[in-house]
């Protein structure tokens, strides 16, 4: 299946279990694969027959910056649900959320979760 690919989208937000995360905030990075049939758009060169990636980014930013989650698992789930319910052309999404500044006692590049959801998961 065809896909729209967005990598390393960064946002500053206030998600996390610890009070410091809610107060100080931190960076979050997203990778998205949005699966859909792009033949109609490719054959017609008509933007209304696809999902514009700027619309995807706007929806993602709204959730990340205007809602608060303790768990990045819940953040990923909210993004998946929103994209699949707002854009009927999308059949499946894969979302990876990375948290490079997680307050844990170790030197790490980042921690991450990755989920894959289908349209039927939110029917």
**pLDDT digit string, tens, across residues 88-108:** 999 999 999 999 988 888 988
Sheet holding 26-36, edge to edge: 2-13, 26-36, 92-99, 111-118
Query: Per 3-state DSSP, what percentage of the chain is helix, strand, and coil (rounded to 5)?
Result: 40, 30, 30
**pLDDT digit string, tens, across residues 21-78:** 999 999 999 999 999 999 999 999 999 999 999 999 999 999 999 999 999 999 999 9
Taking domain 2-122, whether its CATH number is 1.10.10.10 is answered by no
Q: Which residues are catalytic?
A: 99
Domain residue ranges of the chain, discontinuous segments joined by +: 2-122
Q: What pLDDT, on the 0 to 100 scale, is given for residue 123?
A: 80
């Amino acid at each position: 299946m065809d896909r729209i690919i967005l990598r390393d989208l960064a946002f500053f937000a206030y998600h996390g279990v610890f009070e410091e995360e809610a107060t100080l905030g931190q960076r979050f990075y997203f990778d998205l694969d949005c699966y859909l049939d792009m033949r109609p758009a490719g054959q017609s060169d008509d933007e209304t027959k696809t999902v514009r990636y700027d619309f995807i980014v706007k929806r993602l930013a709204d959730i990340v910056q205007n809602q608060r989650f303790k768990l990045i698992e819940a953040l990923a789930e909210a993004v998946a649900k929103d994209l699949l319910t707002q854009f009927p052309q999308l059949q499946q999404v894969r979302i990876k959320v990375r948290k490079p500044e997680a307050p844990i006692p170790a030197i790490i590049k980042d921690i991450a979760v990755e989920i894959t959801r289908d349209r039927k998961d939110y029917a």
